[in-house]
A and B are shown apart, each in its own frame.
Chain A
Amino acid sequence: ETGVTQTPRHLVMGMTNKKSLKCEQHLGHNAMYWYKQSAKKPLELMFVYSLEERVENNSVPSRFSPECPNSSHLFLHLHTLQPEDSALYLCASSQDGTSGSFAYEQYFGPGTRLTVT
């Protein structure tokens, strides 16, 4: 079992709904990530938080809003999503990479399978 948990595991929402995805890591890491995985596409990095500060936002639409209240918790707030946003949303954590010249391995949660109707 991984030390990263995600809730809910499955979510169906309409385009006008607001929902939040939650991630919690129990590994003592201080960097957390949100990824999107669509069918037949590689994982796409959405957001990176290091020491609770957002350090990267990969041109993600504003209908996705991350929040990192502490080093163990990460949220992804969703509003007015589109059907093409249906995907598996994965949270990951790692030790904090310092200089950016190398990266620590990341550990993933089980994901939230999101369907937007």
Chain B
Amino acid sequence: RKEVEQDPGPFNVPEGATVAFNCTYSNSASQSFFWYRQDCRKEPKLLMSVYSSGNEDGRFTAQLNRASQYISLLIRDSKLSDSATYLCVVNRRGSQGNLIFGKGTKLSVKP
């Protein structure tokens, strides 16, 4: 099983749609979880950290299910500017600062 697995997509959605991304991770000892976004030919940028109780930042909601080792990201009211690749990121416990990046899910929001 890969350390971090994501559906590669692409997800093609109209503006205003709600879209959900899922991610599973293999290391049950992982403690830190993040979503990053990466635009084409640019660097990854932190979108949000994911907390155990779930957290929301505007149109974005992240959820963590430790029992199932599953992380999700929900985007409401999609904008054209949300088009990017979304990377699920998990730390490798016991390895200082070591983040494991998923391959990413590509989102394309159409007018």
Contacts and interface: CB of A to CB of B under 8 A. Distances in A.
Interface of A: 2, 31, 33, 40-43, 45, 48, 50, 55-56, 88, 90, 94, 96-97, 100-111, 113
Contacts of B46: 105-107
A104 B93 contact: no
Interface of B: 4, 29, 31-32, 34, 41-46, 49, 87, 91, 93-99, 101-104
20 contacts: A2-B43, A31-B97, A33-B97, A42-B87, A43-B101, A48-B96, A56-B95, A56-B97, A94-B97, A97-B97, A100-B95, A100-B98, A101-B29, A102-B31, A102-B32, A103-B98, A103-B99, A108-B43, A108-B44, A110-B42
Contacts of A55: 96-97
A41 B97 contact: no
Given A42-B103, A106-B97, 13 more contacts: A2-B43, A55-B97, A56-B98, A100-B93, A101-B29, A102-B31, A103-B32, A103-B98, A104-B32, A110-B43, A111-B42, A111-B43, A113-B41
A34 B7 CA distance: 26
A41 B104 CA distance: 9
Contact of A101 (B4, B44, B94, B103): B94
Contacts of B43: 2, 90, 108-111
Nearest to B88: A42
A112 B44 CA distance: 13
B50 to A, nearest CB: 11
Nearest to A111: B43
Q: Which 8 A-B pairs have the closest CB atoms?
A: A103-B91, A108-B43, A102-B31, A43-B101, A103-B32, A97-B97, A102-B32, A42-B103
Interface centre among B29, B41, B95 (most CB of A within 10 A): B95
Nearest to B34: A105
Nearest to B104: A42
A96 B102 contact: no
A100 B104 contact: no
A56 B99 contact: no
Contact of A56 (B32, B91, B96, B103): B96
